[in-house]
Structure 1
């Protein structure tokens, strides 16, 4: 009997894993696979997601409302283009609480946190709380639209249509900003996080002008 006969059992584990990742990469499914793993970590609590820490407390923000209202909004001059092709001036959102998430289809952590953001949007999205899911993909709007349609997300999605404001620069993706009705950045979260929590919902709703 030939002891050197080929058997799958003789293939080293590292070679099998390398082959699997090679197939996923070649088919473009590696981003989805990594995103699913990270989503599982969020759901099981193995990886605890951070909650945005407010730069300015809601009470402090209320005290400076009159002064802030006369100041320039963060991101003023920035132009966005919705998936419907319509142009939006970022400063037109002044007076609303803005939840802005910077993401891309090639970013596994972005994909992992999106279902959670969708749930948050369904619970608090309104005329007073605006969601800006800002894609920085270079593949064009068609690629982003295809991704959103496939996932069935309903939150508003945009792409930059002008130079990116310096105040929105970040060393990480995804990055999320929460902007007060007065136009001030009151929270910034770099990296994947869980947003559909009582704390975040209360934080957003507490800033809505009565």
Structure 2
């Protein structure tokens, strides 16, 4: 009996450790905006300078190769997301961002997902098709000049901009953008855009 206990004891301890590690990892992967999350304004990191997003005039490009900058989105509440196809949390997040655009996108709101991949735009289009991303426009920053100007240090990184370009907050890492209180918070920002009716 003692021999059995001696051999199985470490195995039991190892099993408990592995289970604990798996649970902790799952909690981290779930991100901060889960079902029991506090209000989004408590989770968004306040920007250093809310009056100006550094790099707002730095160009990135759309699917046709035309230059685009944040100035082109003035008048809209913007969810500016930096991502890449090789980034697992980014890949996991993209369908949620796509649904966010489907629900709220319009004259006063847009999700601007900017890929930092260096590959061809055709590869990004293939990624969208493979993952059923139907509502997001394709944008790319292959040299990461825009990402660096903004101050991105990891992926995914998201900036929330008000209609006048004010940075309302930032978030680094995966987030579930379908959290109901977050959607209500976005709707309140959209309703505050001058001259645009909330749909």
Distance 2:117 2:184 in 1: 31
Map of 1:89 onto structure 2:
69
For 1:191 and 1:72, how far apart are their aligned partners in 2? 22
TM-fit CA distance, 1:140: 2.4
- Superposed CA deviations along residues 116-174 of structure 1, whole A, max 9, x for unmatched, are 11111111111110111100001221221211122221211201278326562232211
User: What is the TM-score with the length of structure 2 in the denominator?
Assistant: 0.67
The alpha-carbon distance between structure 1 residues 75 and 202, as it changes in their structure 2 partners (threshold 3 A), is farther
Gaps of 5+ in 2: 1-25, 34-39, 195-199
1:189 and 2:155 aligned = no
CA distance in 1, matches of 2:82, 2:72: 19
8 Å CA contact 1:80–1:90 kept in 2: the answer is no
Corresponding position of 1:174: 156
Look up the match of 1:158.
139
Relative distance call for 1:207 and 1:55 in structure 2 (3 A) is: farther
- Give the aligned partner of residue 63 of structure 1: none
Aligned to 1:105: 85
Unaligned runs of 5+ in 1: 1-40, 57-67
> Which residue number corresponds to residue 145 of structure 1?
125
Quote the RMSD (CA, aligned, Å). 2.5
CA contact (8 A) 1:78 1:91 kept: no
Question: Could you say which residue in structure 1 is the equivalent of 2:110?
Answer: 130
Q: Distance in 2 between matches of 1:120 and 1:165?
A: 22
Q: Is the 8 A contact 2:97 2:111 kept in 1?
A: no
| Runs of 4+ residues deviating >6 angstroms | none
Which residue number in structure 1 is paired with residue 30 of structure 2?
48
2:17 aligns to what? none
The secondary structure found in structure 2 opposite 1:164 is helix
Pair 1:202-2:184 in alignment: yes
Distance 1:165 1:193, change over 3 A: closer
User: How many corresponding residue pairs?
Assistant: 154
Q: TM-score, normalised by structure 1?
A: 0.64
**1:187 match: secondary structure:** strand
